[in-house]
Amino acid sequence: MKMKEEHKCCEIKEKNHLYKIGVFAQMNHTTIKTLRFYEEQELLLPAFVDSENGYRYYTMDQMAVLHRIMALKQAGFTLEDIRKLNSDPDPADFLAKKKEEILSKIAGLTMQLAMIDGYMADSNEYLEAPVLIKRIPPVIAATMQKRIETYDALFDMMPVMGAEMERLGCECALPEYCFTHYLETGYKDEQILIETCDAVTVKKEDTDLVKFKEFPEIQAACIYHKGSYNDFPHTYAAILKYIEKNGYEICGNIREKYIDGIWNKENESEWLSEIQIPVRKPGSF
């Protein structure tokens, strides 16, 4: 019985034993500087501070607190996050939100890895015309619909639309944004129903030739195309391959944005366009 009593006293003494900051740091594989920083941040205060010499002491119980801080930091929590957790009696909601943030980062990194894998697998194709997922902001546009005989007829359609916009006193938005929609599914090389759009600052009254529309923001897979429009199929193949490989689905009309063309570049090799395909991940809205 006496031995049991002595053992119990020993346990209590060990539990309440004070360890100097250097010894406590060594026991927990950290630094004195780190412990002082946590003290400044009021995350882990010493159990006792000697008023005469300023020596700081910690107890064995505080090891659990220190390990919690270190584990949360490894999990990506900021010191402010840890402070909130320490003061929150029910941290479940906070932890769930943090989990969602981490899962979102993982999804982003996974997409980056997939992009790199694609570049490595088809380096020549992708590095010449890399695909970028980006947000296209909302836009007000003057639009003109027409069924054209062939794609070459697009060059005749644009000047007519431009003249009507000038008559209406339209002011083009900056940066300039001119694009076309193909309003029927599937590829056609004749009798193509097309809608040409040119971003403007404000809506005007619709006319027989030009209608004004508001296009919402979209997320789009985008790829630049340099040169003749006759070479579009090669660029389309590259962007559609990227969309399929990375688990996206098309969710809107494809846009062809014209940056440089016959109106300002004499040589077809200097024409610059951008294909923009609205995409989303399956199940997202």
**Tokens read off for 150:** 């062939």
**Tokens read off for 254:** 């494809």
**Tokens read off for 171:** 């002011």
- 126 vs 226, which has greater pLDDT? 226
- What global pTM score does this model have? 0.56
| pLDDT (0 to 100) of residue 205 | 94
- 195 vs 284, which has greater pLDDT? 195
Interior angle at CA 149, CA 143 and CA 150, nearest 5: 90
pLDDT digits (tens, 9 = 90+) for 160-217: 999 999 999 999 998 889 999 888 776 667 788 889 999 999 999 999 999 999 999 9
| pLDDT (0 to 100) of residue 10 | 36
**Between β-strands 211-215 and 272-280, what pairing exists: parallel, antiparallel or unpaired?**
unpaired
pLDDT digits (tens, 9 = 90+) for 264-281: 888 888 889 999 999 998
pLDDT at 115 over 70: no
pLDDT digits (tens, 9 = 90+) for 22-66: 999 998 889 999 999 999 988 999 999 998 899 999 998 899 889
Domains of the chain: 2-87 (1.10.1660.10), 132-280 (3.20.80.10)
Q: Is 284 exposed, middle or buried (CB count within 10 Å of its CB: 0-12, 13-18, 19+)?
A: exposed
Q: Which H or E run contains 283? A: none
Which among 191, 198, 103 has a CA at the least distance from the CA of 150?
191
Strands (E), the chain: 19-20, 48-49, 56-58, 132-136, 139-148, 178-182, 192-199, 211-215, 218-226, 249-250, 255-260, 272-280
pLDDT digits (tens, 9 = 90+) for 81-102: 888 887 777 778 888 888 888 8
